[in-house]
A and B are shown apart, each in its own frame.
Chain A
Amino acid sequence: MKTLLLITLLFAGSQEERLVLEFSDPARPGRLLTHLRLGKIEIRGTKSKEITISSEPIFEHMSDEKVNGMRRLNAATFGLQVEEEDNLAVINVASIRTPQHLVVEVPRLTSLSLKSGGGILVTGVVGELELDTTEGDIQLKNVGGSVVANSLNGEIVVSISQVTPGKAMSFTTLIGDLDVTLPPGIKCEVRIVTRQGEVYTDFEMELATRNKNTGGTRDKNGRYQAGFERALYGKVNGGGPRISFNTLQGNIYIRKGK
């Protein structure tokens, strides 16, 4: 049954309010989608069927002499709105001037599509996890399912305890380390590109660089050119779906979990 649930909350002053709702069909895993331009997103997986949303402003530390001893009032108000339909919950954060720390508690089995201007932290969630940040780190602890993560400028530190078989994954950052812990029994083929940085792993891998000389061509002047792909490929536990690691400047750590 489809129900459209719309809840709006206005934040003012330093009140900490909470929005609580459930997916239309709590027996089926749902998906949470949100785009937070300014601030950090934190998601916690729980045993509850409820989704609980709250938000706190993030203040920069002011050590101005004029401030000395006074407490700060949050004069800016902003709107937080959540819409849910057919197991998809969308959180809209409208017109904020101060960066927010958005905290959402979700049922453990939930898929996430998160975009943030400054960092994402997810703990204890299993599902299709898609994360995108411009500045700030992506940290995933004790998650499961599949991960597609991109950070423009920041680290990606992920620890996956169980993997959905057959799903591809990708970790990309322009500047920043990739530090990914995978289940020891995972079957996959990793593809690794880093232009400035080292790669470390404790997995046993069958490594190969694809130097396809058959791709060469002879041009008009008779020069022979063959291109080499810059990526390193490695089969883990016999091979499987592709897990891509791509960073311009940064080290890559592919760790074997316990």
Chain B
Amino acid sequence: MKCEEVTGLIPEFLAGTLTRGEMLRIQAHTVSCAPCNQELESLSSTWKNLEHWPEEEPPEQLHKGFYQMLEGYQQGLKSSQVLPSLLDRLSRLLTHPRLAMPALAALILVAGLFLGRSMDHQEAPEVARLRTDLSQMTQLVSLSLMENTSSSERLTGVSWSARLEHPDERVIDTLLTIVGEDPSVNVRLSAVEALYESRHMPRVRAGLVRALARQESPLLQIALIDSLVAMDEKGVAAQLQELMDNRGINPVVKQRAQQGLMEIR
């Protein structure tokens, strides 16, 4: 088993969701590989600390959805000093290049397991902070991935940013830059999809209209037309007319532009 494979599987290993065969292979690898052994040790001690959160009566109903689970968290967190040091360790995990994804997945898994209570208590301040910290971490991970030289990493970073409820300026700007300049069609397309989630923001709408003017790839042109028409952005009308008048444009794109003009009016 390769080191990369092993570190990717550690969260599942700790959660006990691997098959017996996979667990044996991970153990066999870590016996002879010092760096992987260390990672396993440090992650497993973090895991054990999380188990010391207080037991609670099982609730009658569990809300679905991660953020809803956070909101339903009950304030009886007895050893509240556990939380700050945990967040510190988790933030170190989440900015570790290879562990960012599994760590984020582990965080979501653990938060789901331990915070899914629906009691009618006031939200504890620690929970509010945990929620902001989590979304900040998702932003950090996605920003750092989006600056990577590998298209695969940039694509992954963009898809993480699409999950943010309130992406900040840096994320929006990075996504708009990617739509205009990324060498990979796939990455540009995924950035358009991600920006669609923030279509209520005027700068996103204006940015996407500008992007349409500069795109040469027919797939991107169509995806942008689709998105702008779906968000009913009247500002795109001039662009659509230009695409229809321009000789060099792919006929399928022209057709889509014409259709779009009718849908917008």
Contact = CB atoms under 8 A, between A and B. Distances in A.
Contact of A167 (B152, B162, B252): B152
The 6 closest A-B pairs by CB, nearest first: A166-B101, A227-B230, A170-B186, A242-B159, A128-B152, A168-B159
A128 B150 contact: yes
Contact of A130 (B184, B193, B219, B250): B184
A200 to B, nearest CB: 22
Interface string A148-170: 11101000000000001111111
Interface string A223-258: 001011111000000000110101011000000000
B168 interface: no
A177 B2 CA distance: 34
A169 B150 CA distance: 12
Contacts, number: 100
Given A130-B151, A168-B158, A169-B155, A244 B184 contact: no
B218 A174 contact: yes
Interface in A169-191: 169-174, 191
Contacts of A229: 196, 230
A133 B223 CA distance: 19
Contacts of A225: 232
B210 interface: no
A3 interface: no
B186 A149 contact: yes
B200 interface: yes
Contacts of A231: 193
A174 B8 CA distance: 34
Contacts of B222: 195, 248
Interface residues of B, number: 37
Say what secondary structure dominates the interface of chain A.
Answer: strand
Interface string B83-112: 000000000000000000110010000000
B139 interface: no
B156 interface: yes
Given A150-B186, A172-B219, A215 B200 contact: yes
Contacts of B238: none
B105 A248 contact: no
A201 interface: no
A231 B4 CA distance: 33
Interface residues of A, number: 39
A241 B156 contact: yes
A230 B226 CA distance: 8
A231 B190 CA distance: 12
A55 interface: no
Contacts of B159: 168, 241-242
Contacts of B62: none
Interface of B: 2, 4, 8-9, 101-102, 105, 150-153, 155-156, 158-159, 162, 184-187, 189-190, 193, 196, 199-200, 218-219, 222-223, 226, 229-232, 250, 252
A249 B219 CA distance: 11
A167 B192 CA distance: 19
A111 interface: yes
Contacts of B231: 215, 227
A130 B149 CA distance: 12
B103 to A, nearest CB: 10
A168 B185 contact: no
B151 A246 contact: no
B189 A172 contact: yes
Nearest to A109: B2
Contacts of B223: 193, 246
Contact of B185 (A128, A150, A167, A215): A150
B162 A242 contact: yes
B37 to A, nearest CB: 19
A132 interface: yes
A149 B187 CA distance: 10
Given A150-B186, A248-B222, A228 B152 contact: no
A146 interface: yes
